[in-house]
Structure 1
């Protein structure tokens, strides 16, 4: 009997030790992502998306493709701002636990909705861009009919309105309750799963439907479209050795789709293959979620890079808007003034003036004397 009790105690001890290790893993992952990775990438992504939206909103840049990319930038910016709020909450939890607890309790239910809504919008706007490029490359005779600015505006607005409605149940997934904590002798905010979401007859089907709409179906469509576009691009490049501007834009859009596929797949595996949620899961699952959510943030933050690399028109417009050419002219003028000052200070200009003076005196001496008394 004593041996059995000892074995049970050892088992309980091992379980507790494992739980502590998973908790530490979660806290380390939260620190690395929430306090280090998030603020850097959020700052870069926010500035990149805002500048991209400004550039593509110019009259000379108004195309159907850029309309989709502008809307995609808006969706990605919502995701980035949402993640920046998470950084602020995690920082408050470290610096002032009571304020951080209150911020977490009040913001988390709504931020969870914004996360799922923006991700779903980003996925289907990326699909919209890929569909349009597929028509341009593989069905060029249909391009004028289906690929125009008016249609792009309608599709973009329809995507946003649809995902706002479809994702609405996520706004009611969690509720915040105020409970007395005996350990700290204070009232603490706790985030709990709502009664509706505790019902498996609702939560399981809805999770599967939304996950399929947010990740699985877009991934399948994008894989097919990307493969078709790449094959079509190879055929066109075989005929024309030098890539055209349209081909470079296609390469840019293909790179955006590849970034989406790479960054979204880990989250899709977590949600579908393992069926894992978020705040209510174990420390191990929450720690892994911190990592997969970082990939989602990368997807929202780096589109500015392929825009600059592959789109020459975007680069020129960007430089024209943000005054880089003017900066270069001012820099050259400043350098010229500095050079003149250095020459003046070093006495070179004085030497040149002396040489000119001697030359003028020599010319005077050598000049013919017209004085008759000479």
Structure 2
């Protein structure tokens, strides 16, 4: 009786998983990923302009690259799902061959994005709370070096994920079927437990703690500044960073909870994998939304973007606003913030 109940529940969860795949992988992923990739590409173009080459923008450019990798990975997942529905045999082969690499890339991009966000938050904290020290600490060269180190370290830390799965051949009713199983390394419970907890501590837990603390400090300092001064470009940039950090924290939190206990991967139950579809979609949203945040909060970024759109109807309107703003900004904005996003 108990086995029959378990089978029934598993079938219900399978329907939930397939529905989750349809909503997230087949519908939301292309809708989010394609505009997100375009937005990240435009962000890289704008951030590489001559008057945008600052330390903050170096971090944001590196973040746009990491986010683009995540979005490309998700688009490939969408293509595999389409293939599985139109040609199940070919789709199964594609899934078995691509999933191990996609899992590896997912972990790299998430780790890199997490620590680049921490780097941006740390720099903004220094700029707001210690503006004098910021002139020597927050340099573009240092930001580029830190970004490269983050990429190298996170690739190294995530490397065991590349060896999590191996292809196997199952024989069912005299037919061969490809499948994925965890490798002998990942069947070692001690290694799996210690590595999973360590990776997710670095990727999510400690990142969330640092970002929440830094964000609170930045918000407190920003409120003190606003109590005595009018809204300036520096404050708008700081507000933009706060929004980026808050969006990141909200989007990564469900994934952090799932990843801490290792739920939702290929070997998980249908219920776990169905929930993972939604938590991964939040990460996809986070990877795609920064361009919109830059456009909303940064007048400098918006003006440089409009150079790419010479016939934009909002260009003249924004230029008039900028002209009236410059009188105040010239007096109140530091050289670092005047050129940042």
Q: So what's the TM-score if we normalise by structure 1?
A: 0.82
Secondary structure of the 1:180 match is strand
The reply to whether residue 45 of structure 1 matches residue 56 of structure 2 is no
Which residue of 2 is the match for residue 247 of structure 1? 235
Correspondent of 1:194 among 183, 189, 211: 183
1:241-287 deviation per Cα after TM superposition (whole angstroms, max 9, x unaligned): x2111110111111000000000001111122x44251101111111
Indicate how the Cα distance of structure 1 residues 277 and 31 shifts in structure 2: closer, same or farther if over 3 A, else same. closer
Which residue of 2 is the match for residue 233 of structure 1? 222
Which residue of 1 is the match for residue 305 of structure 2? 318
Shift of 1:16: 1.5
Which residue of 2 is the match for residue 306 of structure 1? 293
Q: So what's the TM-score if we normalise by structure 2?
A: 0.90
Indicate how the Cα distance of structure 1 residues 328 and 127 shifts in structure 2: closer, same or farther if over 3 A, else same. closer
* Unmatched 5+ stretches in structure 2: 317-341
Q: CA RMSD in A?
A: 1.5
Correspondent of 1:203 among 179, 192, 195: 192
**Paired residues of 2:68 and 2:287 also in contact (CA < 8 A):** yes
Shift of 1:189: 1.8
The reply to whether residue 95 of structure 1 matches residue 86 of structure 2 is yes
Secondary structure of the 2:227 match is helix
Which residue of 2 is the match for residue 54 of structure 1? 45
Distance in 2 separating the partners of 1:220 and 1:48: 29
What number of residue pairs does the alignment pair up? 316
* Unmatched 5+ stretches in structure 1: 1-9, 330-374
Correspondent of 1:287 among 269, 274, 279: 274
The reply to whether residue 148 of structure 1 matches residue 143 of structure 2 is no
Which residue of 1 is the match for residue 102 of structure 2? 111
**Paired residues of 2:114 and 2:207 also in contact (CA < 8 A):** yes
The reply to whether residue 266 of structure 1 matches residue 217 of structure 2 is no
Distance in 1 separating the partners of 2:68 and 2:262: 27
Distance in 2 separating the partners of 1:328 and 1:127: 33
Distance in 1 separating the partners of 2:313 and 2:298: 22
Secondary structure of the 2:266 match is coil
1:55-110 deviation per Cα after TM superposition (whole angstroms, max 9, x unaligned): 10111111100000000000000000000000000111111001100100110000
1:34-60 deviation per Cα after TM superposition (whole angstroms, max 9, x unaligned): 100101001111111111011101111
Correspondent of 1:74 among 42, 50, 65: 65
